[in-house]
Amino acid sequence: MFHPFHWQQYPVIIMIALVVSFLALAMIFVTLGIIYFHRIKTEDTNEEEAASELIIIEELNKHILRYDSLNEVPEKELLNVINKLTRLKQKSLVFTKVLTRTLMSFSILLTGTIQLVINATYNLLKLQEDTFKKLKSKLWFVKIEGLREVQEINDNDSISQVITLTKDNNINVRVSAYAALIQLDSKEKYKFLDDEQETLTLWHQIILTNAMEKIDSNELPDFKRYLGSTNNSIVLLCMKLILHYNQLNAVSSLIKLLSHKDDEIRCFVIQALGKLNADEAEQQLIERYPKESLGNKTQILLSLGNIISLISLKFLTDKFIRGEHFDILKSAAEAINTFPQELKKLVPIDSTLLDEKQITLIKHYEEPLNLYGSI
Amino acid sequence: MANNKILVIDDERLINKFLASRLEREAWDVDTAIDGIEAMNKITRNKYDLILTDLIMPNVAGLELVIYIKNSKLNADVPIIVISSLTSDNVILDVLSIGVEEYISKPFSMNVVIAKIKQILGKKSVA
């Protein structure tokens, strides 16, 4: 028998629970609906992107990129393909996005005269106008998207706008603008190393280093010029670049930085001097040793291991025998092991003075497989 | 130089089609493969005069593919040019040590690729 439902016969708390449950159920269905709709839309966009990419690659390869310069392309053929792509571009935003992305990919993967063809095609398709709009956007991530397009297409017409964005309030926009300028034909490429006051994160440093990797290393400046910067992240970046590009003429400037007040900077200077095999820094490193923190002391020992000299070996052997701290012992043993046997014979270690830990460390650095389980 | 048959192997459709269209312009017969397995099938069935391949590809890695080519019946003595974005000395030395003729790093210039192909095919025809 069916009993009609009467609200009134239930307590208020049950009524509230029913309403809440109904609302929760409704929200679950709405959420599922949104997720489903979003997935369908993403799938459609992906399909449209794939179809657009096929058309773009086909048209560009068949009519434009098979030539070494745009002058070689028959006028009528060029006009036809540009008109076709422009029509499709006007019809769909997805097509425009894929068109820009494809030209950027070509620009990244190819060098030589074809770069000029890609650049000219980009301008003929009026994609530069879209990029300009992005550069003028109020949203920081849209500006960065525009800057990346300028950078990858090597669009030198946008230099003045990129320079404006080097003064943006957002550090991410500024760093992208610096990276774009590095790849463009600008006189202000490295001005940011003098001007930037905010800390550059490791990610920012990677973006800038990547941009520098893409240009001829002869165009790079002497990074020692910027070692006096008051921005520690700039000093660290320049030291990494000095090391990466092996700028040996920076050694004397690096030695001056050994008295820098920042512990992290000093640690990196010590490391850099070692990696550059700067034997002229040997005396300063030894003098610096008693004044440094434990971390920097171990770094000095490792760097002295790179500066292969009798003085360094004597110093390292002394620190190893004294064995003030395990980290010191470890670094000294590692550094001593880098010396050639002939030199090591000149400063023999008296094994009767060593304890079991020291003997194990020496063994370990002679045979790396002994490390784990022995100590 | 006409009618030489070249196989282009690259999973990046962009590069694959670009290389094919530029090489066809030089009057070479071009065949393409989008991954290692498709390439292996084509290498087993057809004889080529030169193979251009990438190193990083799905299904079969480029190095394995090069070894496969060197052990194949039809194409064991076919010159191979590797075009890859890997620039480490170790990779280049490994690739050259297993009999690859040329190693070209990405980004690359098409004019250089064409010049190398002409040089290799020229040497081959003299031999």
Q: What is the DSSP string of B79-119?
A: -EEEEES---HHHHHHHHHTT-SEEEESSEEHHHHHHHHHH
Distance from the A16 Cα atom to the nearest Cα atom in chain B, whole angstroms: 57
> For an interface test with B, which of A109, A113, A121, A217 has the most B Cβ atoms less than 10 Å from its Cβ?
A109
Per-residue confidence (pLDDT) for residue A375, from 0 to 100: 41
Query: Which conformational region is residue A186 in: left (phi greater than 0), alpha (psi within -120 to 50 degrees), or beta?
Result: beta
- Structurally, chain B folds into a number of domains equal to 1
Q: In the predicted model, what is the mean pLDDT of residues B74-98? A: 91
Chain A residues closer than 8 Å to B108 by CB: 109-111
Contact criterion met (CB < 8 Å) for A68 and B15: no
From B13, B21, B110, residue closest to A110, measured CB to CB? B110
Closest CB from B20, B25, B107 relative to A111: B107
Tokens (6 digits) for A30: 């709405």
Q: A202: pLDDT confidence band, cut at 50, 70 and 90? A: very high
Residue-wise pLDDT for A52-105, tens only, equals 999 999 999 988 988 888 888 888 988 999 999 999 999 999 999 999 999 999
Query: DSSP character for A3?
Result: P
The ipTM value here is 0.87
pTM of the model: 0.79
CA atoms of A141 and A137, how far apart (whole Å):
9
- The average confidence (pLDDT) of chain A is 90
Q: Measured between beta carbons, which residues in chain B are less than 8 angstroms from residue A106? A: 14, 18
H helix intervals, A136-293: 140-153, 159-165, 171-183, 192-195, 202-213, 232-244, 251-256, 263-275, 282-288
Task: Print the domain residue range for B65.
Answer: 5-126
Torsion angles phi and psi, residue B8, rounded to 5: -105, 125
For residue A121, list chain B residues with Cβ-Cβ distance below 8 A: none
Mean pLDDT of chain B: 90
Residues of A whose CB is below 8 A from B21: 61-62, 65-66
Residue of chain A with shortest Cα separation from B25: A66
Evaluate if residue B55 carries a pLDDT over 50: yes
Report, as an integer, the average pLDDT of A158-174: 95
Task: State the pLDDT at residue A222.
Answer: 94
**Residue contact A112–B13, C-beta within 8 A:** no
Q: In this structure, are residues B7 and B39 in contact, taking their beta carbons and an 8 Å threshold?
A: yes
Looking at beta carbons, which residues of chain B come within 8 Å of A114? 109-110
The alpha carbon of residue B3 is apart from the nearest alpha carbon of chain A, in Å, by: 19
Instruction: Assign residue B34 the CATH number of its domain.
Output: 3.40.50.2300
How close, in Å, is residue A110 to chain B by CA atoms? 5
Using an 8 Å CB-CB cutoff, list chain B residues near A68.
Answer: 111
* A68–B111 C-beta distance less than 8 A: yes
Which residues 98-117 of B are in CB contact (within 8 Å) with A?
106-112
Instruction: Answer yes or no: do A113 and B111 touch at CB < 8 A.
Output: yes
